[in-house]
Amino acid sequence: MIGVFDSGIGGLTVLADLERELPAERLVYVADQAHAPYGDRPAREVVERSLTIARGLVDEGARLIVVACNTATIAAIGALRLDLAVPVVGVEPAVKPAAARTRSRVIGVLATAGSLDGAKFRGLVADHAGDVRVLTQPCPGLVEQIEAGDLDGPATRALVEQFTRPLVDAGADVLVLGCTHYPLVRDLIEAVAGPGVLVIDPGAAIARRVREVLAGDLRPGPGSVELRSTAGCDLDGLYRSLKR
């Protein structure tokens, strides 16, 4: 079994890539919606929630944990790797591929404040951006809109316009989705950015990394997906729509 968790529904985008890459695996997804969003919570609390969920999944038999949340990766992946006896794969903003593909030498990163504020993100930029200018844009309120199920309403469209337009106007020709919730409004972001701007989300790369880590321990199947929410929400309909 592979355990996957996020503060809410955003990690379902990663889960869909994992299912495509590893169709024979049993995947168990936990959306910690009773404590979402993580981006507004103290790092200590994010670490505590991450440990609680991951330990529970390992106790059930998970042989690898995917932290399908940028904020939790930054705050908790070190503690998870020290605490757990199984591999832990996290997510991080795709600065390296964005820097490799920009023509204008300007990229934009859309993320929560919690993901952008810290040494881990600064180190990512220092290691991989080179001479590329990296513009960062916190997106307060966007995760909450997505968690509420408003993926294309006027309020969500206004937030996407507010956060995306300044990056494009400043010359960014590649946008990095630095929160796993944001692929759920990718169509809106691409519409605001325009056809000349590439939008990158890390889901497929995470799935490939999990396959690499499990290379000697892949299961024959049949695969399955189980969805759980700490708030008791039904995630099945949304997940089915992601795979169409």
Active site (catalytic) residues? 69, 179
CA distance 4 to 1: 10
Burial tier of 171 (Cβ tally within 10 Å: 0-12, 13-18, 19+): middle
Among candidates 132, 139, 128, 3, which has minimal Cα distance to 65?
A: 3
| Tokens read off for 87 | 């591999």
Asked if residue 144 lies in contact with residue 41, where contact means CB atoms within 8 angstroms, the answer is no
Return d(Cα 31, Cα 12) in angstroms, integer: 9
Q: Give the C-alpha distances (Å, rounded to integers) separating 102 from 60, 107, 110, 171.
A: 43, 7, 16, 10
